[in-house]
Amino acid sequence: MKILSKNNDTVKLLASPDEELLERGDYLVIEDNSRKLLIQVIDIEYADLPGMLEDTLRELSVEDAKNFSSIDPYSIGSLIAKLREARLIIGKFRGVLVDGDLRNDILWLPSRFYSRIRKASSSLINELSRSSGRRAILLGECMGDWFTVNAESLDGKLTIITGKKEMGKSHLAKLLVVGLVEYGARILIFDINGEYGGLSKKIDGSDSELSDRLKVIIPGRNFKTTVEDAGLKTMLDILRYVYDTPPASLREFSRIWYITERIYGRVTLKGLIDALTKTQMNESIREALLSRLLSIEDLEFFNDEDPQSLEDLLGELEYGGALIVDLSKSLPHGRRLVVEYVLSKLSTILKNNQYPPLFLLAEEAHLYLRDTYWDDLVTRMRHIGVFPIFVTNQPDMIPDSVYRQADNIFLFNFTNDSDLDYLAKASRVDAETVKRIVKALPPKRCLIVGRIVNDIPVVVKVRELHVKTMGETKLFFTQTK
Amino acid sequence: MEHLQHQIIEELEFLKAFSKIGLESLFSLKGLRIYASSREDLARDYLDEIYIEFNSTLDGYLFEVYEPRQVEEKKKVIALDTSSVRLAESSNGVIISIKGAIVVRDIDNSISIQTLGPFLFYVNKINFKYILREYSELIQYSSRYDFYLNAQRALTELLERRMQEYIVEKSKDSIILFDGCLVANNFNHYKNLLEKILRIAQENRNIIIAFSKTSFIQVSGAYLQSIHIEEEPPYIIDLTTTLKHYCNYEVRTLGRICLARLSAGSLGYRVDVPIKSDIPTFFGLLLKSDPLIYGYPETLILAHDYSTFTRLDIITLQTMLKKMDVELLYPEYVRDILFQPVDGDYR
């Protein structure tokens, strides 16, 4: 390989076709004397050699010829063939290695003609991409070797896992959950498809090591609460964001809340409905509020007789574990109501230091992630003590503000250009890297960018899990007959 | 390069000696520092560079116009062409590469292509007589540049005439298309060889037609191609009688010189045919046997294409020279290195 050019952070190398096979995301070290330049391969193309068009056209016309023979006394043909197949490797400058440190501030270029180019060792990349910490989570393989990240790099950070469907997002999320729980972390999971319960079982059906550290709660069944526990603010947020209630109606709802509290001594859903029917107000507002409260009542999530407090449920995860909110049986607005309640409650619990910081994993986050009610959490998450991991296949549904604050991004394959454009704008790496690498990623491979890899983008083949992940697509044609 | 001899097909025996001499000449190159030729000066076609001028208009002279005869018969068409390139030059000698192509269009319209070479030669003032043998007479030089040019020209002619000789001997009842014209200069060997080629071709009932793209005949300062008559193409104007009076005496024509405008809209080309040619039948057979592209036979275009050096050929040959421990110097690179940081990339 030889250096052809460097333009901004793009480095182009010429390589012969029989060079070692490279994959997108691999790293190359360009060595000149004692200094080394680190570049990441983002694509490979045919080298645009002079006379190539003419040569190819000639080849094309030979295909129509009955016979083609060549008397080539010096075997020039084989040399030409090698030249014609020359490859252009497109790489991105990642820094200069000085005394084992990767530096971006040093202006140095290796010699085009005398520098030595070789594939970087996996140990070098592991070392450079390792963030501080000692709790290693084995993610999979990178450049032919095992690749780990430190659990500490998820702690206090906002993490996004995104990619199109069936690429392995949930699988990676489960792998992170298992890794975090094993190190004693507490995680709250919004489980849209009811898959995370499977982590308690091994593939052979026996109990996994996590079986007693996972708790699945189903809203309306084993997870119910009271409106009083939710509080007026949460109820107003639910009405505003989940049920699109206009401001005038919200003002009336506040009035009704205080009336109920004064008359019944406590606020219940039944009491609110009673007060609403009896209090004098504009009929259309009454109608609007009543229909919404009846709809909330139908969900059976608010139950004044047999409530469970979120504090108690979280308390059960004393030694690390995951509280899985199974939303698979909830209707869309019910799902959003539960999320709204849990987030609001969580924020209060953590603000009051009633519970240690926890991770929050939101599967299919685009289904309930709205501009408003996550903003507070995302903006102040470090102070509150909630560290979200969002999993989505619709990156454009997650607000810009969330991306801008993301510390770690796991990117699986996307082929849609508009998704890639969006990601390129929002992620912590240059647009070209995202577009070229992500577009070509096979299933179960992801590009990791951000603090978790010390801002060295790495392509990782995610390893298998020995527990039931249950995320696989159910198929009709499963048996061959 | 040890396997060199094995690669030469038995039938093309003459190439064995040709490539062997080339290889021997290269041995003296080892360790030589030599300037690469200008990259703009890649391929030349010297055989066409013959000027015939006369300073009168055609109106006053006799010329005959023929129409190609309608024929049903098709013939095999064989076209051959060569090209050469000067790869590098030093004060002592020049590295020349030559290449040839033979393209055969069979009666069923199928195409066969054979490329010969590239062959490499290092020609200097000591070895040129050994390399070029009879053709060394062609090398008359007053300057180093003349030597380079004449050496290139002589080598190209050597290969081309050998190929022509081989084809006319091997083929029968075919149309054989040459690139260039049937004109000899004062060089006796050349005239004799061309006469021999034409004679053997006739014996084997081959039809020789030589198409020229670049030879110039000027009539009162205007080029031959600008002559128009009030006929619809295809037609052939036989200018032989006219030109006989005005021919440069240093040039001996061994055939009939015509202007052939074979398709509407085409410029017309200088075409030479042997003296005893039935022009209407020859061109009738050609039109029946080979498609024309802008009035030029496609088979000959293919031969030209496959014998031409591409940039990639040049790069490869230069790579090969480097492998032979020849240091190639690029004059313009030195200029770039010295001045480009100051004067920028204005070119």
In chain B, which residues have their Cβ closer than 8 Å to the Cβ of A66?
A: 106, 110-112
E-strand ranges in B144-297 read 174-179, 183-184, 207-212, 216-219, 222-223, 235-238, 252-253, 255-261, 269-274, 292-293, 296-297
Q: Is the pLDDT of residue B137 over 50?
A: yes
The verdict on a CB contact (< 8 Å) between B112 and A65 is yes
Shortest Cα distance, chain B CAs vs residue A73, angstroms: 5
In chain A, which residues have their Cβ closer than 8 Å to the Cβ of B116?
A: 71
Please name the residues between 10 and 49 in chain A that touch chain B, using a CB distance below 8 Å: 49
φ and ψ of B201, to 5 deg:
-60, -45
Would you say residue A307 lies in a domain? no
3-state secondary structure chain A: CEEEEEECCEEEEEECCCCCCCCCCCEEEEEECCEEEEEEEEEEEECCCCCHHHHHHHHHHHCCCCEEEEECCCCHHHHHHHHHCCEEEEEEEEEEEECCEEECCCCCCCCCCCCEEEECCHHHHHHHHCCCCCCEEEEEEECCEEEEEEHHHCCCCCEEEECCCCCCHHHHHHHHHHHHHHCCCEEEEEECCCCHHHHHEECCCCECCCHHHEEEECECCCECECHHHHHHHHHHHHHHHHCCCCHHHHHHHHHHHHHHHHHHCCCCHHHHHHHHHHCCCCHHHHHHHHHHHHHHHHCCCECCCCCCCHHHHHHCCCCCEEEEEECCCCCHHHHHHHHHHHHHHHHHHHHCCCCCCEEEEECCHHHCCCCCCCHHHHHHHHHHCEEEEEEECCHHHCCHHHHHCCCEEEECCCCCHHHHHHHHHHCCCCHHHHHHHHHCCCCCEEEEEEHHHCCCCEEEEECCCCECCCCCCCCCCCCCC
Q: Which of A81-85, B71-75, B111-115 shows the lowest per-residue confidence on average (mean pLDDT)?
A: A81-85
Give per-residue pLDDT as tens, A105-156. Answer: 888 888 888 889 999 988 888 888 887 778 889 999 988 889 999 999 888 8
Give per-residue pLDDT as tens, A15-36. Answer: 988 888 888 899 999 998 888 9
Q: Is the pLDDT of residue B342 over 70?
A: no
Q: What is the DSSP annotation of B116-137?
A: EEEEEEEEETTTHHHHHGGGGG
Same domain, residue pair A90 and A149: no
CB B69 within 8 A of CB B284: yes
d(CA A345, CA A311): 9
Percent over 70 (pLDDT), chain B: 71
Q: In which band, very low, low, confident or very high, does the pLDDT at B224 lie, cut at 50, 70 and 90?
A: low
More confident residue, B32 or A261: A261
- The parent domain of residue A282 ranges over 227-298
The verdict on a CB contact (< 8 Å) between B111 and A58 is no
pLDDT at A472: 62
Q: Is the pLDDT of residue B33 over 60?
A: yes
Same domain, residue pair A249 and A391: no
> Which whole-number Å values give the CA distances from B214 to A115, B217, B224, in the listed order?
48, 10, 11
pLDDT at B5: 40
Same domain, residue pair A114 and A167: no
Would you say residue A480 lies in a domain? no
Average the pLDDT over A280-287 and give the result. 90
pLDDT at B42: 41
Structure-token match 């004044």, residue found: A304
Would you say residue A158 lies in a domain? yes
Q: Is the pLDDT of residue B206 over 70?
A: yes
3-state secondary structure A4-51: EEEECCEEEEEECCCCCCCCCCCEEEEEECCEEEEEEEEEEEECCCCC
pLDDT at A134: 83
User: Which of A56, A74, A78 should we substitute to test contact with B (largest number of B Cβ atoms within 10 Å)?
Assistant: A74
Q: In which band, very low, low, confident or very high, does the pLDDT at B82 lie, cut at 50, 70 and 90?
A: very high
Please say whether the dihedral angle defined by the alpha carbons of residues A341, A343, A348 and A353, taken in this order, is positive or negative: positive
pLDDT at B47: 44
Interchain contact A54–B (C-beta under 8 A): yes
d(CA A386, CA A343): 10
CB A361 within 8 A of CB A334: no
- Going from N- to C-terminal start, the domains of chain B cover 4-335
Query: Which DSSP letter does residue B93 get?
Result: E
Write the CATH number for A396. Answer: 3.40.50.300
For A55, the closest chain B residue by CA position comes to B310
pLDDT at B317: 87
Same domain, residue pair A255 and A333: no
Q: What is the signed CA dihedral for A414, A417, A419, A421, rounded to 10 degrees?
A: 120
More confident residue, A377 or A470: A377
Query: Which DSSP letter does residue B44 get?
Result: B
Would you say residue A478 lies in a domain? no
Query: A409-424 burial, b for 16+ CB within 10 Å, e for fewer?
Result: bbbbbbeeeebbbbbb
B114: nearest CB among A61, A69, A74: A69
Same domain, residue pair A52 and A173: no
Average pLDDT, rounded, for chain A: 85
Interchain contact A475–B (C-beta under 8 A): no
CB A370 within 8 A of CB A141: no
Shortest Cα distance, chain A CAs vs residue B87, angstroms: 15
The verdict on a CB contact (< 8 Å) between B118 and A74 is yes
Interchain contact A71–B (C-beta under 8 A): yes
pLDDT at A457: 92
CA atoms within 13 A on the CB side of A373: 27
Burial of B281 (0-12, 13-18, 19+ CB in 10 A): middle
Would you say residue A476 lies in a domain? no
Q: In which band, very low, low, confident or very high, does the pLDDT at A212 lie, cut at 50, 70 and 90?
A: confident
In chain A, which residues have their Cβ closer than 8 Å to the Cβ of B336?
A: none
In chain A, which residues have their Cβ closer than 8 Å to the Cβ of B15?
A: 71, 73
SS3 of B327, please? strand
Same domain, residue pair A216 and A196: yes
Average the pLDDT over B112-137 and give the result. 81
The verdict on a CB contact (< 8 Å) between B120 and A68 is no
Same domain, residue pair A72 and A100: yes
Q: Is the pLDDT of residue B12 over 70?
A: no
Same domain, residue pair A6 and A120: yes
Would you say residue A469 lies in a domain? no
Same domain, residue pair A143 and A283: no
Closest listed residue to residue A225, CA positions, set A118, A142, A346, A107 = A346
d(CA B75, CA A282): 103
More confident residue, A210 or A479: A210
B19: nearest CB among A50, A73, A84: A73
Number of H helices, E strands in chain B: 10, 18
Q: Is the pLDDT of residue A195 over 50?
A: yes
Give per-residue pLDDT as tens, A226-258. Answer: 988 888 988 998 898 888 899 999 999 999 999
Average the pLDDT over B20-36 and give the result. 78
Same domain, residue pair A190 and A330: yes
Would you say residue A42 lies in a domain? yes
B245: which residues sit within 8 A by CB, 6+ positions away?
B54, B61
In chain A, which residues have their Cβ closer than 8 Å to the Cβ of B42?
A: none
Percent over 70 (pLDDT), chain A: 95
Q: Which of A30-39, A336-345, B125-134, B234-243 shows the lowest per-residue confidence on average (mean pLDDT)?
A: B125-134
More confident residue, B228 or A134: A134
Average the pLDDT over A272-280 and give the result. 90
Last residue of a domain, one of A298, A322, A344: A298
Shortest Cα distance, chain B CAs vs residue A68, angstroms: 5
> Which whole-number Å values give the CA distances from A229 to A235, A239, A311, in the listed order?
10, 16, 11
pLDDT at A200: 82
A76: nearest CB among B106, B302, B317: B317
**Range with top average pLDDT, A187-191, B57-61, B263-267:** A187-191
Average pLDDT, rounded, for chain B: 78
Give per-residue pLDDT as tens, B289-330. Answer: 999 988 899 999 999 989 988 888 888 888 888 888 787 776
Last residue of a domain, one of A266, A298, A330: A298
d(CA A260, CA A264): 6
Cβ–Cβ pairs < 8 A, chains A and B: 93
Domain count, chain A: 3
Last residue of a domain, one of A89, A108, A129: A129
Same domain, residue pair A164 and A263: no
Would you say residue A479 lies in a domain? no
pLDDT at A74: 80
Same domain, residue pair A181 and A325: yes
Q: Which two tokens stand for residue A47?
A: 């080298």
